[in-house]
Amino acid sequence: MSRLLSLLLVFLLLVPAALAEDVLTIQIPAATPEKVEEVVDTPIRSWDKEAGWQYLQVGEYMYEKDGAMAPVLWRVLFVEDNKALMITEYVIDLCQPYPMDNKKDYDYYKEYKHKSRLPKLESVEETEMPQWFATVMYPVLIGEDPIGEAFVDSGSGKLFTMPTEEWARTDYGFTKKNSTQPNKSRIAQVTPYVKDKKMYDWSTKMTTYEDGYVGSCYWTSTMRPGERRLQIVGINGHLSWAGWIRPNVGVRPAARLDLTKVEVVSGSGDVNDPFILRYAGSTVD
């Protein structure tokens, strides 16, 4: 009897194991997490109706009358897709989009004679301004600073001028386009370095306001095809036109900064306490 019970016990132990070998095991793969775009933890934001603009300090450029360098102050206009569009707070230099070495031709042009001596261009890209930004201004402003890796080249170079329509965007903090009336939101002060270079000298047009604020004109990238002129922001912020051989109209460069490649190390973003940045390398593939 005990032998029979022993055999029965062995049978009961072996049968479930044999049956288990014939069972199909289905493995369910783990769910693949959706790729989420990285949101950069940064205090840098777009212009805000209540809080106004924020300011950054990036690079150095000639500032004093004798050409002594100083940090460049930038105004942040708009942040989108972790890219900050910014402009220099001051007119920091002069640029002649289409240089003319022949004084006689230049004098003729000033008197609006013999314009046919100049070529007809269709866009600012055909002038020498983009090359000037890339080979003259940028190497001085950024030099060997690794933060230059955070400046985005969107096809027009890392430094550029904005077209007229962007100088009228209300979401950038500007008021709408009005070509004849003063527009305080676009007025730009000149640096001592630029003021000493006699900008816009033949018209003697620089405006000094009661608080000592000096405003003057600077180029946009909007060209009037066939008329050999570029649009400028005038001395009181209005929009006007100037011949693109003028050597004494200012530049207020714009740039796009990749916020995934920089970090704020100090400052509050106020015009008197701008954010100080450093290069943080690439953090987003």
pLDDT tens figures, 258-277: 999 999 999 999 999 999 99
Sheet with strand 250-251: strands edge to edge: 93-94, 250-251, 218-224, 229-233, 239-243
H or E segment to which residue 4 belongs = helix 2-21
What distances in angstroms separate CA 240 from CA 30, 156, 160, 169, 253, one per listed residue? 63, 23, 19, 17, 18
C-alpha–C-alpha distance, residues 183 and 174, integer Å: 9
What pLDDT band is residue 181 in, cutting at 50, 70 and 90?
confident
Q: What's the pLDDT score for residue 120?
A: 75
Using CA of residue 122, residue 127, residue 133, residue 135, what is the dihedral sign? positive
C-alpha–C-alpha distance, residues 71 and 60, integer Å: 4
Nearest-CA neighbor of 195 among 281, 92, 74, 110? 92
Q: If DSSP codes are grouped into helix, strand and coil, which group holds residue 5?
A: helix
Q: What's the pLDDT score for residue 24?
A: 36
HSE at residue 62, side-chain half, CA atoms within 13 A, is: 17
DSSP at 56 = E
pLDDT tens for 91-147 read 999 998 876 655 555 555 555 444 556 677 788 888 889 999 999 999 999 999 999
* Residue spans of beta strands (DSSP E) within the chain: 54-62, 69-80, 83-88, 90-91, 93-94, 189-190, 207-208, 214-215, 218-224, 229-233, 239-243, 250-251, 254-258, 262-266, 275-279
C-alpha–C-alpha distance, residues 224 and 163, integer Å: 12
C-alpha–C-alpha distance, residues 88 and 194, integer Å: 14
Q: What's the pLDDT score for residue 179?
A: 63
Single pTM value for the model = 0.77
C-alpha–C-alpha distance, residues 208 and 98, integer Å: 29
Residue 222 φ/ψ, nearest 5 degrees:
-85, 120
Range scoring the smallest mean pLDDT among 94-108, 141-155, 166-180:
94-108
DSSP at 197 = T
C-alpha–C-alpha distance, residues 176 and 283, integer Å: 37
HSE at residue 107, side-chain half, CA atoms within 13 A, is: 3
Token readout for 189 is: 């002060």
C-alpha–C-alpha distance, residues 216 and 238, integer Å: 11
